[in-house]
Every structure is written in C-alpha cells, then in structure tokens.
Amino acid sequence: MEPDRKVALKAYEILKVRRKSRILSSLVPGAGQIYQGRYLTGLSFLTIFSFPFYYWYLLGFPLNYGSVTLFGAQALLYGLQVTDAGRGTYRETSPCEDFCPAGVKVPSFMAFCEEGRFEEAFGVFFLSSPFPFTLGELCPAPCEERCGILPERPLKIKEVHREMARKVLENLKVKKRKPFFPPVKKRVAVIGGGVAGITAAYYLASCGVEVDLFEREKELGGIINYIPEFKVDREFVEREIEYATSFQNLRVLTGREISERPEGYDIVVVAVGAQKEKKLKGVEGERVIYPLEFLKRPPKLSRKKLAVIGAGDTAIDVARVGVRLGADVSVFYRGKPEGIRAQKKELSEAVKEGVKIYTDCSLLEVKGREIILNCGKFAFDYLVPAVGFEVDTEKVKELSAGGKSFVTGDAASGMTTFVEACGRARETAGKALKSLGLGKRAWFTVDIYKKKPEKPSGENLFIVSESSLCQHCGIKVKS
C-alpha cells in the first residue's frame, strides 16, 4: 500500500470516531468522550451537566430568573461538550510545528525516521504537504529557527525529510492509482501547476473528486522550473510531482493558457501564483534582463560585469548563476543588511562564491551601461532588476468570476515561500471539500502523532542519528 494512502485511511478512521463521538455526546453529555477513551473528561461533563438539574429538582422546579440562567448555562455547556467530542484528543505541539506554515508534523516523521521506517515518515509528511523532498531542498526552514534542543545549532529538520524522501522516491514505482475514497461526480478545475496548484489538486483528487489541473507551460512546477540546477535535484522533484499527480481522477493539462473561468466545474481553484515581474521605471534596454528570462536563457557572461538590483531569493539565484558563468557579480540592495529577504544559507554561499553584496544602495537612474546609486556609480555589461513579483489581480478576478471559486497560494496574498504556498493550498482543499459536501473525507486535517522511540534503529546513519536528537517538545497529550 502506498505510504500516503495508509496514512489517509488511518486518519479517516479517526474522523469516523470523532463523528460517532459527536453523535453520542449529542444524545448523552460526555458519552462521546467516554467512547474515545477520555473517561475523566466524559464523566466530568456528565456530572457537571447533570448536577444543576438535580439541584433544580430539589428546589421544586421553580421558574424564575435563576432557572432561566441555569438553562442558558447548561445549553452552553451542552454545545461545548458536543464540540469537544467532535474535536477529539489533541496534543501540545512543538515550537517547530507551530512555526511551520504548512503545519508539518515534525516530531512524528522524525520518530519514524529514528526507527528507520522511512515510508511511514514519508506518509505522515503528506498530512501537511505532498512535497517532502522539494521542501527539503527549498524551504527556508522556520521550524529550525525555533528549535532549541541543542545549544550550538538547531536540528537539521529539512535535511532529514529531504534525505528520507530521497530514499523513498528512489525505490518508489510511480504508476496511475485509484483515489483513497470512492470517486464522486464532482468536478474541480485547478488553474496553475505550481506548488500551490499541485498541492490543492493532490488533496482533492485523493478524496475522489474529479480534478483537471491546468498549466500554461509545457511542464508542471511553476517557479521551481526557474530555480538553478545547483540548488535542487530536479530528478527527484519531477518524481515527486509525478507521484502527487498520479491519481486516475486527476488530469494534467499542460500548455493550456486559461483566460477566463472554465465551464462545467463545480468549483474552480485559482492558483496562478505571483506571475508578474515588477518592473523598474526607466530601466530598459537590450542589456537589461529580468530574472525569469535570465534564469531561463542567461547570456554569455565570461569576464562580464553583472549588476543585480534586489536581495531576495531570486536575486541571489541570479547572482550565483552569473558567478558560475564567469561574471563579476555585484548585488545592490537599498535596505539594511538585516532586511535582506534571501535565505541566510544562500546568501552565505553566494558570498563564498565571489558575489559582492552592497547594502544601503538605492538606484537613482541608469545611463547607458552605468547605474547611478546613492552609494556611487557602477559600470555593467548586463543589469538584472530582481525586485520581486506581483499578482495579476485582473486575471485572478476573471478566472474566479461567475461561480464558486477559491483563490490560493501566492495568488491569494502575494509572493510567499514554497512552504507557505503548500499550507494555504491544503487549507483551500479542505474548504473546497466542505463546500462540496465531502468534508468527512478531509483526511489531511487530522493530526497523527508518533511517540519518540525508546532507542534509535535503522541503517541510514545521518537520518537516524539526527532524528534521534528530536526530543518531542510538545509530548504532553491533553484531553
């Protein structure tokens, strides 16, 4: 059985228990909690709910302001305990999970890795995102910033799930497969084949919905396809995308530019991303190349001077590509060093490779092959203004007009990281399922916790040893 299917079916059983618990608690207060094995909570609800009525009986059933207040309080308690039964147990999450935009179950997949059970770790990761390898390559890892287990460094969380996913994908035979639940005659169009679009399509298709995934380029991946080869192992990224889109009820339609809302769909999910490169006024010419064009078809740069405006991830990618092509690269950023948005690791690597970075340098104008900044002048052979991307709001409106629609990923609120796009798209998939009357199938909304093993075991030294350092900071389980 595929790793994610196994986890999905387990999660669905948890959802079934919750639904039954909600019904039981609606009939007898506390019964649902007792059914879940939360005996103290259930008995407490039953006692607290019953005692005031017994007290009212002893007083002779008076009807006054006091009894009306009592009924109101009991109604509130009744609703609270029904809601509590539906939620089931929950646990105190760790800081790494709390600060992950996709809500990746870090302690759980680390625990499986510690035991050398990589397929189970792979499946648990899919509760949050279908990209364990890709995020391991490209995620800025806010989880690691919050990890305080070791005094000298954080745990290498993203490296663990990257290498875990690599091992699984190496042996995974991708073929067309059935969804996790029986197919339903509900059709959803997902427009945009980047990380957000693939994520939304994956979760919807896994639940039996007919999904058409539209992408204007010839291949899926979106902005990933512009990331330099030295930053990402494209073979495994492509295999991961192939696996995420392998459901029989998920059609991939590449090379399809969609200009208006497609017809014949119950829901349209717009995940076109932040497609428009921001332009600098007055900065143009044959020696001015914007980032996506540069990354796709870089010019000959041997012994040339390359100037890059901006200091985000894309700007640093451009700079590092330029260095590899033999250019003398300078990056100019208008803000302070602490305001640089690029990942610290990427910035450090760029400096080691010879990229010169200047801060507090705002562009004033461009004259011929010279840029004039408030910090001086710089002659260039090529200039790349990498000042960010923005959403084509008019296009988003056209695609989402005239029917039930959801906008997700970067298209919803501007350029973000890959992990943020995954988190938003997963939430969108849950909302879409609920609007289709299929909320009961939303297996990816469930938390599955794996306790820390008593001792590590497994063959891969790095994955097992690094994951064994995780101490499951939120191990206390609350009822």
* CA–CA gap between residue 438 and residue 440 (Å, rounded): 5
Q: What is the pLDDT of residues 341-367, one digit of tens each?
A: 888 889 999 999 999 999 999 999 888
- Portion of the chain with pLDDT greater than 70, in percent: 98
Query: How is the chain split into domains, by residue range?
Result: 3-88, 95-172+450-478, 187-272+392-444, 291-389
* CA–CA gap between residue 70 and residue 76 (Å, rounded): 10
Q: What is the pLDDT of residues 201-217, one digit of tens each?
A: 999 999 999 999 999 99
pLDDT attached to residue 477: 47
Helices (H), 409-460: 410-413, 418-435
pLDDT attached to residue 476: 55
Give the pLDDT band (50/70/90) at residue 475.
low
Common-topology check for domains 187-272+392-444 and 291-389: yes
Average pLDDT, the chain: 91
Q: CATH assignment of 187-272+392-444? A: 3.50.50.60
Average pLDDT over residues 245-249: 97
Task: For residue 394, give the nearest of 263, 254, 281, 270 by alpha carbon.
Answer: 270
What is the chain's percent helix, strand, coil content, to nearest 5? 45, 15, 40
Give the pLDDT band (50/70/90) at residue 316.
very high
Give the pLDDT band (50/70/90) at residue 479.
very low
- Tokens standing for 14? 């948890």
Sequential DSSP letters for 288-302: B--HHHHHHS----T
Q: What is the pLDDT of residues 18-46, one digit of tens each?
A: 999 999 999 999 999 999 999 999 999 99
Q: Please compute Rg for the chain using Cα positions.
A: 27
Using the predicted structure, report yes or no on whether residue 310 has a pLDDT greater than 50.
yes
Contact criterion met (CB below 8 Å) for 414 and 307: no
C-alpha neighbours within 13 Å on the C-beta side of residue 227 = 18
The highest-level CATH class for domain 291-389 is alpha beta
Distances from the Cα of 368 to the Cαs of 129, 282, 361, 372, in angstroms? Answer: 47, 11, 19, 10
State the pTM of this model: 0.91
- Portion of the chain with pLDDT greater than 90, in percent: 71
Contact criterion met (CB below 8 Å) for 169 and 240: yes
Give the pLDDT band (50/70/90) at residue 469.
very high
Q: What is the pLDDT of residues 408-457, one digit of tens each?
A: 999 888 888 999 999 999 999 999 999 999 999 999 999 999 999 988 88
Three-state SS string over 179-198 comes to: CCCCCCCCEEEEECCCHHHH
